[in-house]
Amino acid sequence: MMNKILIGLVLSLSASTYAYAAGDAAAGKEKAVACGACHAADGNSEIGNFPKLAGQNAKYLIKQMVEIQSGARSVPEMAGQLDGKNEQDLEDLAAYFSSKKILGGKTAADQLELGQSIYRSGIPAKQVAACTACHGAKGQGLSTAGFPALGGQHAAYTQKQLQSFRTSLRDNDTNGMMRDIAARLSDVEIKAVSSYIQGLY
């Protein structure tokens, strides 16, 4: 039943698209210079607290930037960074970072078994669906629905986001999907799946 609900939601979300102009990756490279201080010039940040943007689907990046810019998503580290950016600027930034290749990391050996199980099979006893349903077998995401690519993302960043969803500190997930899932995960499970995701790419 849960899988049918998820599939229906994915299909309905895939049908809805944002009406944005096409981004220009070359223009985005010039506009991304300041972003490099935290996210690195190619979007492969070296600091665990700052997300890797390289290879992320453009639709997801635009959604996050629009919501950060409007205040709908609170990210203190991004305060003022998007001020003065118009729709085309955001499109260009998204096009640039989505064109780059993410440099993956490694899964901690002691987190592999549990992390892989959660990511690939979910936790049926807790009604937690497999992460693959929305984020793909290799963490590539589902760009048409705006579901983010996760593979290769810093474990520390993913862990923080899951914890934020769990406490509703972060609430910009579609229909509360991630809040519902994260609320069912323990700290141990969040740590394991975050480490597993870091090694996917």
**pLDDT 10s digits, 128-159:** 999 999 999 999 999 999 999 999 999 999 99
How confident is the model at residue 191, as a pLDDT? 98
Which residues of the chain are under the pLDDT cut of 70? 1-21
How confident is the model at residue 12, as a pLDDT? 41
How confident is the model at residue 22, as a pLDDT? 85
Residues 6+ apart with CB under 8 A from 82: 65, 68, 69, 90
DSSP SS3 for 123: strand
Domains and CATH numbers, the chain: 22-99 (1.10.760.10), 105-198 (1.10.760.10)
Are the CB atoms for 201 and 152 separated by under 8 Å?
yes
**CA 14 to each of CA 66, 116, 180: distance values in angstroms, whole numbers, following the listed order:** 19, 26, 20
**CA 50 to each of CA 74, 99, 106, 154, 159: distance values in angstroms, whole numbers, following the listed order:** 14, 19, 17, 8, 12
Q: What share of the chain is helix, strand, coil (3-state, %, to 5)?
A: 55, 0, 45
How confident is the model at residue 21, as a pLDDT? 59
